[in-house]
Amino acid sequence: MPGLAHEKRHPAPVAGVDEAGRGPLAGPVVAAAVILPDRGAPRGLDDSKKLSATERHRLHDRLLACARVGIGIVEADEIDRLNIHWATMKAMTLAVDALFAHAEGGPAHILVDGNRLPRWGYAATAIVGGDAASRSIAAASIVAKHTRDRIMIAHAETWPAYNWHSNKGYGCRHHLAALREHGPTPLHRRSFAPVARAELPFADGMSLSGYTPPLGLADGPNHKL
């Protein structure tokens, strides 16, 4: 289970940052930044990949109730413009910026899952496998993963053929078959090879211009898109 050894090496408060959604063919990349409370953090925080959807949901709600949370969302059209690496860096930056806009202020140090840091002026440390080593990063991984899953489940209502309620936009067999049959939607990342190879254009030419994320995810003082 992740602990607090990394957090204790730096001045408080320390934020953990992680992302969800680098690999899918459709939907946004989502990052979360979390400052855990000194007391009262929920038990069971772990790498989101090791938790069930039910456990992530429970911990997500507990974290939003007790921790400082910032969320950054970068949509598919911007992923195509920036590439997925820089879109992920932007999502992380937005999430951390949201913490600094919080009434209680931002972190003194930031722990980021992975081996690269965004180009920002904040004091930060990259930790490979951080979601399994740092409790703050584990918390961020849970918030990012649950938030993105909710977005894709909501989009599945509009685009049922792609089975996003189950695959969350990843390139599973059902999703790839639907992509070949129906072509890409406005939520697909056209810079990703399986989407670029899809022969059929989206029927009515919709775009993401002016698109609003579902479920009110842009609302609230802790969220910044």
Q: Which residues are annotated as a binding site?
A: 18-19, 113
Between strands 68-74 and 29-35, the pairing is antiparallel
Contacts of 54 (CB under 8 A, 6+ apart): none
Q: Extract the annotated binding site for a divalent metal cation.
A: 18-19, 113
- Two tokens, residue 38: 């000194």
Q: Is 88 exposed, middle or buried (0-12, 13-18, 19+ CB in 10 A)?
A: buried
Q: Is 125 exposed, middle or buried (0-12, 13-18, 19+ CB in 10 A)?
A: middle
Strands (E), 13-62: 14-20, 29-35
Determine the 3-state secondary structure of 10 from DSSP.
Answer: coil
Determine the 3-state secondary structure of 55 from DSSP.
Answer: helix
Q: Which of 111, 79, 78 is nearest to 95 (CA)?
A: 111
Buried b (16+ CB within 10 A) or exposed e, 97-122: bbbeebeeebbebbbbbbeeebeeeb
* CA 66 to mean position of chain CA atoms: 19
